[in-house]
Amino acid sequence: MLDFSKVDFNKAISLNPTNSQGESNPQNPFENCTYKLVKLGEVVIEIINGSTPLKSVREYWNSNDIHWLTTPDFKENIFIESTSQFVSKKALQDKKVKIVPKESVLLTCTATIGKCAINKIELTTNQQINALICDNSKIINHYLVYILRLSKQTLENSATNPIVKHINLATLKNLKIPLPPLEIQKQIVSECEKVEEQYNTIKMSIEKYQELIKAILVKCGIIANNDEFAGGTSRLIASLLDSRLLDSSVIAF
């Protein structure tokens, strides 16, 4: 059991550290993780890439039969329950789109890199989005979302096209992520869900929300607590932990 009330936040958390010259060092944020790093391709059963039916074929777009997900549909919430656009059953019948099952992990991989969520509805996506079908015997989808969101900079630095950034399938499958036991993953998800609940019910900024999630992952050994940095991040987290905005149950197993 991990007690977050005793976390030492005297050191700042840096996911994108700089070297002695002040230059960015785009290393994997999980490089010094307590747990084994595995390739993403080892913990997913399938990756479904989306597509866009021809706009010139009216029959593909004249009926709101199937949700069709695009990047603007991603919000800060971890779940996607609706989309702004739809395609018809005709598009599916003609194999112009693929159905993504519920509870998949959706990741933007073109132009806008690293937006991530879980779909609570069956849907299809455009080609900017990959849907990851998790191997539930190895990884929890909710946990994977937190990990992929923190991998945003790593993914961007791996993009193959400097003009229109794109993460190809091989690069995505080779992304290294930490894989703690399922029981630890469940504990991490449980704690992060408490932060999400607070974020959704009180006026917590997105920055405070993100730092609390990072704090949980540091305590669990997913992200290393970098001793070389101090200042704003640590003070922010400390102020959050002392704040009456958060119940102590949010940060204690």
Q: How many CB atoms lie within 10 A of CB 57?
A: 14
Residue 114 contacts by C-beta under 8 Å, 6 or more apart in sequence?
107, 108, 148, 149, 151, 152, 153, 155, 156
Give the model's pLDDT for residue 76.
81
Task: Give mean pLDDT in consecutive 10-residue pieces for the chain, a chain of 253 residues.
Answer: 37 34 55 92 97 97 97 92 97 98 97 95 98 98 95 89 88 96 95 80 73 84 59 43 41 41
Residue whose entry in the numeric block shows the structure tokens 């993914």: 155
Supply the pLDDT for residue 226.
55
Instruction: Give the pTM.
Output: 0.77
> CA torsion sign, 142 to 15 to 207 to 217?
positive
Asked whether the beta carbons of 130 and 100 are under 8 A apart, the reply is: no
pLDDT at 15: 36
Q: What is the pLDDT of residue 47?
A: 98
Residue 14's pLDDT is: 33
Q: According to the model, what pLDDT value does residue 231 have? A: 38
C-alpha 56/C-alpha 190 separation (Å) is: 46
Predicted local confidence at residue 3, as pLDDT: 43
